[in-house]
Amino acid sequence: MNTPSIQGKESVLDELSLSVRNESATQKICPHNSNISCASCRLNELCLPIALNKTEIHQLDEIVERNRPLKKGDHLYRQNDEFRSVFAVRSGSFKSYVLSDTGQGRVTGFYLPGEIIGMDGIASKHYSNSTQSLEHSSICEIPFSQLEKLSHQLPNLQHHFFAIMGNEIAKDQQIHTLLSSYSAEERTASFLLGLSSRYARVSLSPTRFLLPMTRSDIGEYLGLTVETVSRIFTSLQKKGLIEVNNREIELTDLSALRAIIGVDTC
Protein backbone atom coordinates (compact mmCIF):
# COMPACT_ATOMS: atom_id res chain seq x y z
CA MET A 1 0.00 0.00 0.00
CA ASN A 2 1.48 3.36 -1.07
CA THR A 3 1.38 6.26 1.39
CA PRO A 4 1.27 9.79 -0.08
CA SER A 5 4.41 11.81 0.57
CA ILE A 6 4.38 14.92 2.76
CA GLN A 7 5.02 16.99 -0.37
CA GLY A 8 2.02 15.35 -2.06
CA LYS A 9 -0.22 16.10 0.92
CA GLU A 10 0.88 19.75 0.90
CA SER A 11 0.08 19.94 -2.83
CA VAL A 12 -3.44 18.61 -2.22
CA LEU A 13 -3.97 21.09 0.63
CA ASP A 14 -2.77 23.96 -1.56
CA GLU A 15 -5.28 22.96 -4.26
CA LEU A 16 -8.10 22.76 -1.72
CA SER A 17 -7.15 26.16 -0.30
CA LEU A 18 -7.11 27.69 -3.79
CA SER A 19 -10.49 26.12 -4.55
CA VAL A 20 -12.01 27.57 -1.37
CA ARG A 21 -10.59 31.03 -2.14
CA ASN A 22 -11.93 30.89 -5.70
CA GLU A 23 -15.36 29.77 -4.50
CA SER A 24 -15.41 32.57 -1.93
CA ALA A 25 -14.54 35.14 -4.59
CA THR A 26 -17.25 33.82 -6.88
CA GLN A 27 -19.84 34.02 -4.13
CA LYS A 28 -18.81 37.62 -3.40
CA ILE A 29 -19.48 38.57 -7.01
CA CYS A 30 -22.81 36.77 -7.15
CA PRO A 31 -24.07 33.87 -5.01
CA HIS A 32 -25.96 32.41 -7.97
CA ASN A 33 -24.11 33.39 -11.14
CA SER A 34 -20.56 34.72 -11.19
CA ASN A 35 -20.95 35.94 -14.77
CA ILE A 36 -23.66 38.48 -13.91
CA SER A 37 -22.94 41.92 -12.53
CA CYS A 38 -24.58 45.34 -12.71
CA ALA A 39 -21.80 46.51 -15.04
CA SER A 40 -22.40 43.71 -17.56
CA CYS A 41 -26.21 43.61 -17.30
CA ARG A 42 -27.97 44.62 -20.53
CA LEU A 43 -30.56 46.46 -18.41
CA ASN A 44 -28.12 48.67 -16.51
CA GLU A 45 -29.25 51.77 -18.42
CA LEU A 46 -32.82 51.24 -17.18
CA CYS A 47 -32.18 50.14 -13.63
CA LEU A 48 -30.42 51.79 -10.66
CA PRO A 49 -26.88 51.92 -12.17
CA ILE A 50 -27.93 54.40 -14.88
CA ALA A 51 -26.47 57.38 -12.97
CA LEU A 52 -23.36 55.63 -11.61
CA ASN A 53 -19.75 55.44 -12.72
CA LYS A 54 -17.80 52.15 -12.79
CA THR A 55 -16.54 52.46 -9.20
CA GLU A 56 -20.02 53.26 -7.90
CA ILE A 57 -21.55 50.37 -9.86
CA HIS A 58 -19.06 48.04 -8.18
CA GLN A 59 -20.20 49.31 -4.77
CA LEU A 60 -23.82 48.63 -5.73
CA ASP A 61 -22.82 45.17 -6.99
CA GLU A 62 -21.55 44.34 -3.51
CA ILE A 63 -25.06 44.55 -2.00
CA VAL A 64 -27.15 43.10 -4.85
CA GLU A 65 -28.32 39.51 -4.44
CA ARG A 66 -29.21 37.69 -7.65
CA ASN A 67 -31.74 35.14 -6.50
CA ARG A 68 -32.87 31.88 -8.01
CA PRO A 69 -35.35 32.09 -10.90
CA LEU A 70 -39.07 32.13 -10.10
CA LYS A 71 -41.54 29.87 -11.85
CA LYS A 72 -44.87 31.08 -13.19
CA GLY A 73 -47.19 31.66 -10.22
CA ASP A 74 -44.41 32.00 -7.61
CA HIS A 75 -44.76 34.90 -5.18
CA LEU A 76 -41.91 37.34 -4.70
CA TYR A 77 -43.61 38.55 -1.51
CA ARG A 78 -47.13 38.72 -0.12
CA GLN A 79 -49.29 41.54 1.15
CA ASN A 80 -48.34 42.56 4.72
CA ASP A 81 -44.99 40.71 4.62
CA GLU A 82 -42.22 42.62 6.38
CA PHE A 83 -40.48 45.02 4.00
CA ARG A 84 -36.80 44.27 3.61
CA SER A 85 -35.83 44.67 -0.04
CA VAL A 86 -36.67 46.19 -3.38
CA PHE A 87 -36.29 44.09 -6.53
CA ALA A 88 -35.19 44.76 -10.11
CA VAL A 89 -36.70 42.55 -12.81
CA ARG A 90 -33.93 40.89 -14.86
CA SER A 91 -36.17 38.74 -17.06
CA GLY A 92 -39.81 37.73 -17.27
CA SER A 93 -42.68 39.73 -15.80
CA PHE A 94 -44.70 40.17 -12.62
CA LYS A 95 -48.06 41.43 -11.47
CA SER A 96 -48.90 43.09 -8.16
CA TYR A 97 -52.31 42.76 -6.56
CA VAL A 98 -54.16 43.52 -3.35
CA LEU A 99 -56.74 41.49 -1.47
CA SER A 100 -59.59 43.18 0.38
CA ASP A 101 -60.82 42.01 3.78
CA THR A 102 -63.42 39.92 1.92
CA GLY A 103 -60.75 38.24 -0.17
CA GLN A 104 -61.60 40.15 -3.35
CA GLY A 105 -58.49 40.67 -5.48
CA ARG A 106 -57.51 43.61 -7.67
CA VAL A 107 -54.44 43.85 -9.91
CA THR A 108 -52.50 47.04 -9.18
CA GLY A 109 -49.60 46.86 -11.61
CA PHE A 110 -47.40 44.95 -14.03
CA TYR A 111 -43.59 44.91 -14.07
CA LEU A 112 -41.27 44.22 -16.99
CA PRO A 113 -37.45 43.87 -17.28
CA GLY A 114 -35.48 46.81 -15.90
CA GLU A 115 -38.30 47.95 -13.61
CA ILE A 116 -38.18 48.14 -9.81
CA ILE A 117 -40.66 46.26 -7.58
CA GLY A 118 -41.35 46.60 -3.88
CA MET A 119 -41.33 50.31 -3.19
CA ASP A 120 -44.89 50.04 -1.82
CA GLY A 121 -43.35 48.77 1.43
CA ILE A 122 -41.03 51.69 2.16
CA ALA A 123 -43.48 53.87 4.12
CA SER A 124 -45.16 51.29 6.37
CA LYS A 125 -42.28 48.76 6.49
CA HIS A 126 -44.72 46.15 5.20
CA TYR A 127 -45.57 45.39 1.57
CA SER A 128 -49.01 46.74 0.68
CA ASN A 129 -49.32 44.44 -2.36
CA SER A 130 -48.61 40.83 -3.21
CA THR A 131 -46.33 40.31 -6.22
CA GLN A 132 -46.46 37.19 -8.37
CA SER A 133 -44.47 35.98 -11.36
CA LEU A 134 -46.46 35.81 -14.61
CA GLU A 135 -43.89 33.55 -16.28
CA HIS A 136 -40.45 32.07 -15.66
CA SER A 137 -38.63 35.14 -14.31
CA SER A 138 -35.51 36.30 -12.51
CA ILE A 139 -34.83 39.26 -10.24
CA CYS A 140 -32.06 41.13 -8.47
CA GLU A 141 -32.80 41.65 -4.77
CA ILE A 142 -31.47 44.84 -3.17
CA PRO A 143 -31.70 44.91 0.66
CA PHE A 144 -33.16 48.33 1.41
CA SER A 145 -31.19 49.03 4.60
CA GLN A 146 -27.94 48.58 2.63
CA LEU A 147 -29.31 50.60 -0.28
CA GLU A 148 -30.09 53.47 2.11
CA LYS A 149 -26.55 53.44 3.50
CA LEU A 150 -25.03 53.34 0.03
CA SER A 151 -27.33 56.15 -1.17
CA HIS A 152 -25.91 58.44 1.52
CA GLN A 153 -22.43 57.79 0.12
CA LEU A 154 -23.48 58.08 -3.55
CA PRO A 155 -25.66 61.15 -4.23
CA ASN A 156 -26.18 60.06 -7.84
CA LEU A 157 -27.73 56.78 -6.66
CA GLN A 158 -29.97 58.58 -4.17
CA HIS A 159 -31.14 61.06 -6.81
CA HIS A 160 -31.91 58.30 -9.32
CA PHE A 161 -33.81 56.24 -6.73
CA PHE A 162 -35.90 59.30 -5.84
CA ALA A 163 -36.61 59.73 -9.56
CA ILE A 164 -37.85 56.13 -9.76
CA MET A 165 -40.11 56.76 -6.75
CA GLY A 166 -41.42 59.90 -8.44
CA ASN A 167 -42.22 57.93 -11.57
CA GLU A 168 -44.16 55.40 -9.47
CA ILE A 169 -46.24 58.22 -7.97
CA ALA A 170 -46.89 59.59 -11.46
CA LYS A 171 -47.99 56.13 -12.64
CA ASP A 172 -50.44 55.89 -9.72
CA GLN A 173 -51.90 59.28 -10.66
CA GLN A 174 -52.19 58.22 -14.30
CA ILE A 175 -54.07 55.02 -13.48
CA HIS A 176 -56.40 57.00 -11.19
CA THR A 177 -57.17 59.36 -14.09
CA LEU A 178 -57.56 56.39 -16.41
CA LEU A 179 -60.12 54.69 -14.16
CA SER A 180 -62.06 57.82 -13.27
CA SER A 181 -62.49 59.55 -16.63
CA TYR A 182 -61.62 57.23 -19.54
CA SER A 183 -64.02 55.00 -21.47
CA ALA A 184 -63.39 51.25 -21.76
CA GLU A 185 -61.89 51.68 -25.23
CA GLU A 186 -59.67 54.55 -24.07
CA ARG A 187 -58.41 52.54 -21.10
CA THR A 188 -57.56 49.57 -23.30
CA ALA A 189 -55.82 51.70 -25.95
CA SER A 190 -53.83 53.51 -23.25
CA PHE A 191 -52.80 50.19 -21.70
CA LEU A 192 -51.57 48.77 -25.02
CA LEU A 193 -49.65 51.95 -25.86
CA GLY A 194 -48.07 51.89 -22.40
CA LEU A 195 -46.85 48.33 -22.94
CA SER A 196 -45.56 49.33 -26.37
CA SER A 197 -43.36 52.08 -24.95
CA ARG A 198 -42.12 49.86 -22.10
CA TYR A 199 -41.12 47.05 -24.48
CA ALA A 200 -39.36 49.61 -26.68
CA ARG A 201 -37.26 50.68 -23.66
CA VAL A 202 -35.75 47.18 -23.45
CA SER A 203 -35.11 47.07 -27.22
CA LEU A 204 -38.02 44.72 -27.96
CA SER A 205 -40.61 45.28 -30.65
CA PRO A 206 -43.02 48.08 -29.71
CA THR A 207 -45.65 46.81 -32.13
CA ARG A 208 -45.65 43.03 -31.69
CA PHE A 209 -45.38 41.35 -28.31
CA LEU A 210 -46.84 38.65 -26.10
CA LEU A 211 -49.14 39.63 -23.28
CA PRO A 212 -47.79 37.79 -20.20
CA MET A 213 -50.93 38.67 -18.25
CA THR A 214 -54.40 37.20 -18.77
CA ARG A 215 -57.37 39.22 -19.97
CA SER A 216 -58.79 38.80 -16.50
CA ASP A 217 -55.64 40.46 -15.09
CA ILE A 218 -55.99 43.29 -17.61
CA GLY A 219 -59.64 43.71 -16.66
CA GLU A 220 -58.87 43.93 -12.94
CA TYR A 221 -56.15 46.49 -13.61
CA LEU A 222 -58.34 48.64 -15.85
CA GLY A 223 -61.53 48.27 -13.82
CA LEU A 224 -63.25 46.31 -16.60
CA THR A 225 -64.80 42.86 -16.83
CA VAL A 226 -62.96 40.19 -18.79
CA GLU A 227 -65.87 40.19 -21.25
CA THR A 228 -65.42 43.92 -21.85
CA VAL A 229 -61.68 43.52 -22.45
CA SER A 230 -62.36 40.77 -25.00
CA ARG A 231 -65.05 42.89 -26.67
CA ILE A 232 -62.71 45.90 -26.95
CA PHE A 233 -59.93 43.73 -28.40
CA THR A 234 -62.37 42.38 -31.00
CA SER A 235 -63.58 45.89 -31.81
CA LEU A 236 -60.05 47.27 -32.22
CA GLN A 237 -59.17 44.32 -34.45
CA LYS A 238 -62.21 44.90 -36.66
CA LYS A 239 -61.14 48.55 -37.03
CA GLY A 240 -57.70 47.40 -38.20
CA LEU A 241 -55.86 48.89 -35.22
CA ILE A 242 -54.57 45.63 -33.75
CA GLU A 243 -54.18 41.95 -34.64
CA VAL A 244 -54.83 39.42 -31.89
CA ASN A 245 -53.66 35.79 -31.88
CA ASN A 246 -54.25 34.30 -28.43
CA ARG A 247 -51.77 36.29 -26.28
CA GLU A 248 -49.80 37.71 -29.17
CA ILE A 249 -50.73 41.31 -29.99
CA GLU A 250 -49.67 43.34 -33.00
CA LEU A 251 -50.36 47.07 -32.93
CA THR A 252 -50.99 47.77 -36.61
CA ASP A 253 -51.95 51.45 -36.33
CA LEU A 254 -50.24 53.30 -33.48
CA SER A 255 -51.47 56.68 -34.68
CA ALA A 256 -55.09 55.58 -34.55
CA LEU A 257 -54.60 54.10 -31.05
CA ARG A 258 -53.08 57.39 -29.87
CA ALA A 259 -56.00 59.26 -31.42
CA ILE A 260 -58.42 57.23 -29.29
CA ILE A 261 -56.90 58.69 -26.13
CA GLY A 262 -56.48 62.16 -27.62
CA VAL A 263 -52.69 62.09 -28.03
CA ASP A 264 -51.34 64.39 -30.73
CA THR A 265 -49.38 62.26 -33.19
CA CYS A 266 -47.90 65.17 -35.15
- pLDDT tens for 11-67 read 433 433 333 333 333 333 344 454 567 666 666 555 665 556 677 777 777 878 887
- pLDDT for 202: 84
- pLDDT for 40: 64
245-255: pLDDT as tens digits: 989 999 999 99
DSSP reduced 3-state for 140: strand
Measured CA to CA, the distance from residue 220 to residue 246 in angstroms comes to 19
Longest dimension (CA), the chain: 88
Enumerate the domain spans of the chain: 48-154, 182-260
Contact partners, residue 195, CB within 8 Å, separation at least 6? 209, 211
Contact partners, residue 11, CB within 8 Å, separation at least 6? none
Q: What's the whole-model pTM score?
A: 0.77
- pLDDT for 39: 63
CB-count burial class (<10 Å; 0-12, 13-18, 19+) for 204:
middle
58-95: pLDDT as tens digits: 777 787 888 779 999 999 999 999 999 999 898 999 99
Measured CA to CA, the distance from residue 112 to residue 102 in angstroms comes to 29
Q: Which CATH architecture has domain 48-154?
A: Sandwich (2.60)
Pick one of 3.40.50.1000, 1.10.10.10, 2.40.128.50, 2.30.42.10 as the CATH number of 182-260: 1.10.10.10
